[in-house]
Amino acid sequence: MTTADLDARPRTAGAFSPEDARRDVPVLHRTVNGRPLVWLDNGATTQKPRQVIEALAAYYAGANSNIHRGAHTMAREATEAYEAGRAAVARFLGAPSPETVCFVRGTTEAINLVAQSWGRANLGPGDEILVGALEHHSNIVPWQLVARETRARLVPVPLLADGSIDRRAFEGLLSYRTRLVAISHASNTLGTVPPVREMTALAHRYGARVLVDGAQAVAHFPVDVGELDADFYAFSGHKLYGPTGIGALYGKPEVLAAMPPWQGGGNMIEQVDFTGSSYAPVPHCFEAGTGNIAGVVGLHAAIDWLTSFGRAEVAAYEESLLEYAQQALASVPGLEVLGSAPGKIAVLTFTLAGSDPGEVAQWLDRDGIAIRAGHHCAQPSLRHYGLDSAARASLALYNTPEEVDRLTDSLLRLRRSAG
């Protein structure tokens, strides 16, 4: 079978066509090594629409100022833009108010904020932090650091063979020692979408807090933190078609209100004296120093861009593209995809018999196709399959079946050349 034989090519789903998105993203129209670029490294970072690029340029060209200080017009304008970005993130996440959103550098910083602020204040000897075995290192290492300090314990939540969470094991691990459950809303290696709402409800029965790592989720499907009932939700702008260096942490109002600041400096204080300082209200007390103001403007533009397409249509398109890609890759002899949990996002981590993942990525790069190879900062998830390294193609709304064909054809040629 060749990929051209495959039926049900997902060209459009409902009102959404990937061409609508591609038109807006300039870098997708460049060549790499003499071939039109095929960007399949969206799990690492997404490409940016001109709406985001133009918003950044317009901010610096016409509106740059520091915020929350200075009684002048541009400071006021920059402050308004920054706070409008906060309101946009709150709406995007279904958060009850903008004050529940803290700006951070990205998911990693958001999780470190919770670990260092909430964790140091709430964890003690013998307490347990349940962490999914599919987590990114940024949802493992910050907990290890605070666990060492507080003598709490990290407990991995095991996976089933298809890469889904072992729900029964999870239930069995929960106890009144559990203080926190840290879980991804979508895995960056296996694509698994854990049953976060159900897990949160179970964790809450024991009084545990739940942090959801939404880094890989937010670009793929709509999120409603109210419905999830999550205590914390973290994501990065750059995986959502926005700029690098900006992300957000949502926290339930009562949880944030009880947390001490984690970094001190300007912008996060009310009064400073050598005898002591008082802090600005939430969320400003978690935003010490000058923030990434342009990044917030760009993130706002990215949210507007993504939500200008029907989210349900985009999700349906990505689902059909994933199905198409799974069928296409099944035609490559010796290729095995890791993770087949129902409802997974469009992430295809794979091994190819006889080829090192690094060689696979280099081969594809010669054809202008960008994928990732290595441990994907989620080593425990690969070890679940007895691996240290794998190749990964991660799809986004602007990817097309033709691009999947180019990936498949290139891999078939690699197989043939390897004999």
Cα-to-chain-centroid distance, residue 402: 26
Rule CB under 6 A: which of 263-322 touch ligand PLP? Answer: none
Residue 138 binds to ligand PLP (criterion: CB under 6 A): yes
Residue 106 binds to ligand PLP (criterion: CB under 6 A): yes
Q: Applying CB under 6 A, what is the total number of residues that bind ligand PLP?
A: 13
Q: Which is nearer to ligand PLP, 106 or 339 (CB)?
A: 106
Rule CB under 6 A: which of 361-380 touch ligand PLP? Answer: 377
Binding mask 227-246 for ligand PLP (x = CB under 6 A): ---------x----------
Helix, strand, coil percent content, the chain, rounded in steps of 5: 40, 20, 40
Q: Which is nearer to ligand PLP, 216 or 355 (CB)?
A: 216
For the bound state, the minimum distance from the C-beta of residue 288 to ligand PLP, rounded and expressed in Å, comes to 18
φ and ψ at residue 153, rounded to 5 degrees: -130, 140
Candidates 50-58, 93-101, 106-114, 274-282; binding stretch for ligand PLP (CB under 6 A): 106-114
Long-range CB pairs of 93-99, under 8 A, 24+ apart, other chains included: 93/223, 93/224, 93/225, 93/233, 93/248, 93/250, 94/223, 94/224, 94/225, 94/226, 94/227, 95/225, 95/226, 95/250, 96/226, 96/253, 97/253, 99/253, 99/281, 99/282, 99/283
Residue 184 binds to ligand PLP (criterion: CB under 6 A): yes
Enzyme catalytic residues: 377
For the bound state, the minimum distance from the C-beta of residue 154 to ligand PLP, rounded and expressed in Å, comes to 16
φ and ψ at residue 213, rounded to 5 degrees: -90, 105
Residue 41 binds to ligand PLP (criterion: CB under 6 A): no
Q: Select the residue interacting with ligand PLP from 136, 179, 284, 372 (CB under 6 A).
A: 136
Q: Select the residue interacting with ligand PLP from 122, 178, 188, 394 (CB under 6 A).
A: 188
Residue 116 binds to ligand PLP (criterion: CB under 6 A): no
Asked if 288 and 268 count as a contact pair (C-beta separation under 8 A), the reply is yes
Q: Which is nearer to ligand PLP, 184 or 320 (CB)?
A: 184
For the bound state, the minimum distance from the C-beta of residue 377 to ligand PLP, rounded and expressed in Å, comes to 6
Q: Which is nearer to ligand PLP, 111 or 328 (CB)?
A: 111
For the bound state, the minimum distance from the C-beta of residue 295 to ligand PLP, rounded and expressed in Å, comes to 12
For the bound state, the minimum distance from the C-beta of residue 124 to ligand PLP, rounded and expressed in Å, comes to 26
For the bound state, the minimum distance from the C-beta of residue 184 to ligand PLP, rounded and expressed in Å, comes to 5
Q: How far apart are CA 341 and CA 190, in angstroms?
A: 8
φ and ψ at residue 413, rounded to 5 degrees: -65, -40
Residue 122 binds to ligand PLP (criterion: CB under 6 A): no
Residue 192 binds to ligand PLP (criterion: CB under 6 A): no
Residue 108 binds to ligand PLP (criterion: CB under 6 A): yes
Residue 349 binds to ligand PLP (criterion: CB under 6 A): no
Quick one: which of 289, 249, 264, 294 has its CA closest to 106? Answer: 249
For the bound state, the minimum distance from the C-beta of residue 173 to ligand PLP, rounded and expressed in Å, comes to 21
Which residues contact residue 385 at a Cβ distance below 8 angstroms, ignoring those fewer than 6 apart? 338
Euclidean distance between the first and final Cα of the chain, in Å? 19
Rule CB under 6 A: which of 200-219 touch ligand PLP? Answer: 213, 215-216
* Residue 172 parent element (H or E): helix 167-173
Asked if 239 and 247 count as a contact pair (C-beta separation under 8 A), the reply is no
Residue 100 binds to ligand PLP (criterion: CB under 6 A): no
Residue 48 binds to ligand PLP (criterion: CB under 6 A): no
- The amino acid at 297: V
Q: Which two tokens stand for residue 290?
A: 């000058």
Q: Which is nearer to ligand PLP, 216 or 408 (CB)?
A: 216
Candidates 102-110, 197-205, 390-398, 403-411; binding stretch for ligand PLP (CB under 6 A): 102-110
Quick one: which of 234, 145, 223, 252 has its CA closest to 182? Answer: 234
Q: Which is nearer to ligand PLP, 215 or 382 (CB)?
A: 215
Q: How far apart are CA 371 and CA 146, in angstroms?
A: 34
Q: How far apart are CA 6 and CA 327, in angstroms?
A: 8
Residues that bind ligand PLP (CB under 6 A): 106-108, 136, 138-139, 184, 188, 213, 215-216, 236, 377
